[in-house]
Amino acid sequence: MSNFKSKSIKLSYLQKIQASAERVFPLLCPTREYEWIETWNCDLIHSNSGIAEKNCVFRTGFFGEPSKIDLSDEPTSDVWVVTHYEPNKKIEFVRMNSIRVSCISFTLVENGDGTTHSLVDQLLIGLTEQGNRSLGAIAESFPFEFAMGEAMLNHYLITGNILPIKAAIEIASKK
* Protein fold of 9-173: Alpha-D-Glucose-1,6-Bisphosphate; Chain A, domain 4 (3.30.530)
Tell me the mean pLDDT in the region 63-80. Answer: 59
What whole-number distance in Å separates Cα of residue 45 and Cα of residue 57? Answer: 5
Inter-axis angle of helices 165-173 and 129-159, to 10 degrees?
110
Q: 32-65 pLDDT, tens per residue?
A: 999 999 999 999 999 999 999 999 999 998 544 4
Tell me the mean pLDDT in the region 106-125. Answer: 98
DSSP SS3 for 129? helix
What pLDDT shows up at residue 8? 98
What pLDDT shows up at residue 61? 82
Residue 68: pLDDT over 60:
no
Residues 6+ apart with CB under 8 A from 13: 119, 120, 142, 143, 146, 147
Measured from the Cβ of residue 99, the count of other Cβ atoms closer than 10 Å reads: 17
What pLDDT shows up at residue 2? 80
Query: 5-25 burial, b if ≥16 CB within 10 A, otherwise e?
Result: eeeebebebebebebbbeebb
Q: How far, CA to CA in Å, does 83 sit from each of 8, 79, 92?
A: 20, 13, 6
Residue 66: pLDDT over 50:
no
What pLDDT shows up at residue 75? 60
What pLDDT shows up at residue 38? 94
Phi, psi at 121, each rounded to 5°: -115, 135
Cβ-contact 51, 68 below 8 angstroms: no
What pLDDT shows up at residue 141? 94
Closest to 29 (Cα-Cα) out of 101, 65, 80: 80
